[in-house]
Amino acid sequence: MESKVKDKESLLRRLMESGGEPVSGQMLADEAGVSRTAVWKWVRELEEDGYTVRSIRKKGYVLEASPDRLSPALIRKYLNDDPFVSEIIHFESVGSTMPIAHREAQNGAPNGTVIVAEEQTEGRGRLARPWSSAAGKGIWMSVILKPDIPPHRAPQFTLITAVAICRAIRETADVEARIKWPNDLLVGGCKVTGILTELQADPDRVQAIIIGTGINVNQEPGDFPEELADIATSLRIESGQTVDRAALAASVLRNIGRYSSLYLEEGFAPIKALWEENSDTIGRKVNAVMMRETVTGTAIGITEEGVLEIRTDDGTVRGIYSADIVPAE
Ligand code: BT5
């Protein structure tokens, strides 16, 4: 179905859907209920955003080139009517997408609302650690989910997201990432993605889960700050190719939608199996570094609650709720 033109974004979508065929300015104006000059102004605005729109006399407008941006229209084009995403809110530069998503969720934004930015100036990880989010290089995005579950099940959404992003990265960039419990994706031992799950909840019910995804996409080796040079990588570094960020963002969203539904319909078992299949942690000797202690042993699996189980040398199985995992040998 063709989308109805009502503003600059929907005009862009329509031009994308036309597959290179000119779209008449008069038709667009009639449809939107505005003048041809108003349509022309939207076209000018698109050009200011970096799109190349050709105007062919007596025929109409053709979209010739799109900039490398995470524009809602471009992401929607790749989403191809997938039902999960409700609204995509795009920013050029923000402090962090997380507080914006929290505010939107509190103000009633529905399940599947997405906040995405080209750049974050104060991106953050767990425990308020900084998250490097250079302009135009990655996918800095927060997704609002409103599942009807008790709060203790919310951490499972970190695992659902990890499985979803692994699949999206495989499909879009042809790179195999492995999951390091609980929230990192690694390629060749370096971090390519971090996930941050935050919660708004009553004592017995989740109000909203905000999932932050930081995916390093098109950085080149010198692009990372010095302190990350040895521990971070990007899909471009790993694949040797520039990756279409909008296509990847769409694939991530489609897969978060798909695996959330699978989880809500069939429970955690299928997610657990997929997670363990893609895990870099299970079967390894690890140190789980926590605030007060470090537990050393072999990671043997995750529980229904997403807790990591470690068998220590004396044979005891310890459940780890939150820690940094480092290889023990
Ligand atoms: C994370 O935290 O890995 C979660 C990162 C979530 C980022 C997203 S981006 C969209 C949304 N908005 C936000 O503000 N955040 C979310 P953690 O496990 O605590 O890891 C943080 C550590 O990763 C830092 O201390 C650095 O060592 C490292 N790091 C920082 N930036 C990185 C990057 N771009 N790539 C790889 N590693 C990075």
Instruction: Say if ligand 1 is within 6 A of residue 142 CB.
Output: yes
Structural domain of residue 307, as residue ranges?
285-327
Residue at which a domain ends, from 261, 277, 293: 277
Ligand 1 atom having least distance to the Cα of 194: 3
Is the C-beta atom of 124 inside 6 A of ligand 1? yes
State the pLDDT at residue 305.
Answer: 80
Q: Are residues 228 and 95 in the same domain?
A: yes
CB 272 within 8 A of CB 172: no
DSSP labels for 151-217?
Answer: GGGTTHHHHHHHHHHHHHHHHHH----EEETTTEEEETTEEEEEEEEEEEE-SSSEEEEEEEEEEE-
120 lines ligand 1 (CB under 6 A): yes
pLDDT tens-place string over residues 275-309: 999 999 999 999 999 999 999 999 999 998 889 99
Q: Where are the beta strands (DSSP E) in 52-137?
A: 52-56, 60-65, 87-94, 113-120
**CB of 182 closer than 6 A to ligand 1?**
no
Question: Which of these three, 46, 65, 84, is where a domain ends?
Answer: 65
pLDDT < 70 positions in the chain: 1-3
pTM of the prediction?
Answer: 0.90
pLDDT at position 2 is 61
| Claim to verify: residue 321 and residue 247 sit in the same structural domain | no
The two three-digit tokens of residue 327, written as one number = 């290889």
CATH number at residue 172: 3.30.930.10
- Give the span between the Cα atoms of 139 and 153, in whole angstroms: 26
297: domain CATH number is: 2.30.30.100
Q: Could you tell me if the CB of 193 is within 6 A of ligand 1? A: no
The response to whether residue 191 sits with its C-beta less than 6 Å from ligand 1 reads: yes
**Structure confidence by residue, pLDDT tens digits, 115-160:** 999 999 999 999 999 999 999 999 999 999 999 999 999 999 999 9
- DSSP letter string over 263-317? HHHH-SHHHHHHHHHTBSSTTSEEEEE-SS-EEEEEEEEE-TT-PEEEE-TTS-E
| pLDDT of res. 4 | 79
- Sequence length of the chain is 329
Task: Output DSSP code: residue 230.
Answer: T
The letter for the amino acid at 145 is: L
Q: What's the pLDDT score for residue 123?
A: 98
Pocket test for ligand 1, best of 114, 131, 211 (most atoms within 8 A of CB): 131
Please give the distance of CA 76 from its chain centroid, rounded to a whole number. Answer: 14
Nearest protein Cα to ligand 1, atom 29: 131
- Cα 230 to ligand 1 centre (Å): 15
Binding site residues for biotin, as ranges?
120, 124-126, 191
* Inter-residue contact 225 to 207 (CB < 8 Å): no
Q: How confident is the model at residue 135, as a pLDDT?
A: 96
Give the pLDDT score at 138.
Answer: 98
